[in-house]
Amino acid sequence: MSPSALAALLLYCRAGFEKECAQDITQAAEHLGVAGWCKAVPDTGWVLFQPAEAEGITTLRKRLAFADLCFARQMVFVTPALKLAPENRLPPLLQAAQALGGPFSGLWLETADTNAAKELSGFCRKFEPHLKKALSQAGLLSPEQAGLPRLHAFFIDSATAYAGLSRPGNSSSWPMGIPRLKMPREAPSRSTLKLAEALLEILDEQARAQLRPGRRAVDLGASPGGWTWQLAHRGMKVAAVDNGPMDKTLMESGLVEHLRADGFTFRPRHPVDWLVCDMVDKPARVVDLIARWFERGDCRAAIFNLKLPMKRRFEEVQLARAVLQERLSRLEGSWRIVCRQLYHDREEVTLAILPRA
């Protein structure tokens, strides 16, 4: 692949969070010694980071970890924007793919996750077979070879697109960065999808292995049981803490104990393996609550949401991470903090505190 073919870093995000996504990548790049600027138009669902120096792209490709970005759903290293002639859109995309070198493990045609971009989805479905055929004929697709980069074509409109690469293992494994999760029929609320996505997208295999039968968990603010269901479904024993009612079918599993108590004052009789929390309150209050559980040794790992204010959302996330890192640093042991705005999050982010091996 010719490094000169790549010009910028394209990030997908939730519409309305372009500013926070831009702040996120700018800070992450600065930590790697890469200066640059962002194109971030409100409510478009994407951000373009342009390094000030050409070498910046190489540094980001080698050292930037997708897992360290909070507000990005996907990151793709892209060529300059391509102008596509309506009568024949294939040549510019094929030329860009050839400049990127190949072969590629797959082709994803994508748009932003906005209402304005939805009409492009139909166009992408119709256009994809033609582009895939042209790439295959050029020997640029090799889906049987694991580990190869993916080729993306991100359409701004039917006449403008970015071509680029993502690397499996350092990017989202879902087209458009959106996990397509099916709502479990037995789950009592749609909030169950938030925890399901967190377990899939935030936890590594080692952490997921700790979500197994016999492990104990506490769910603060559990009613009616969307998050509790995810844990009990895995055979875990769950203390569901909430003054509100719990789903009757969920309670019949025999794995859930409903404790009518205030989540901010509750303390378990014995330490538990997992703490989960989806309570609606100020981020600072939730952060203090979670930190106290670790300081008292009441849990070994935690997953929780922070509801963000309309203003200073990025700053609120940075403050939360700093407070948690400072308080955890006083304790024996070592933890890592992961923070992501997941697809099923809205005006919130999901954090996990996980013990280091």
Distance CA 135, CA 185 (A): 40
Mode of pairing for the β-strands spanning 272-277 and 299-307: parallel
CA 326 to chain centre: 24
H or E segment to which residue 9 belongs: strand 8-12
* Angle, in degrees to the nearest 10, between helices 283-295 and 313-328: 10
Determine which one of 19, 39, 132, 307 is catalytic. 307
Q: What share of the chain is helix, strand, coil (3-state, %, to 5)?
A: 35, 25, 45
Taking only Cα atoms into account, the Rg of the chain, rounded to an integer number of angstroms, comes to: 22
Distance CA 300, CA 289 (A): 14
Q: Is 231 helix (H, G, I), strand (E, B) or coil?
A: helix
Residue type at position 122: G
CA distance from start to end of the chain: 36
DSSP code of residue 348:
E
Contact 114, 13 (CB under 8 A): no
DSSP code of residue 116:
T
307 counts as catalytic: yes
Q: How many residues does the chain have?
A: 357
Q: Which residues have C-beta within 8 Å of that of residue 159, sequence separation ≥ 6?
A: 83, 84, 85, 86, 89
Distance CA 95, CA 80 (A): 12
Distance CA 152, CA 97 (A): 9
Residues acting as catalytic residues = 307
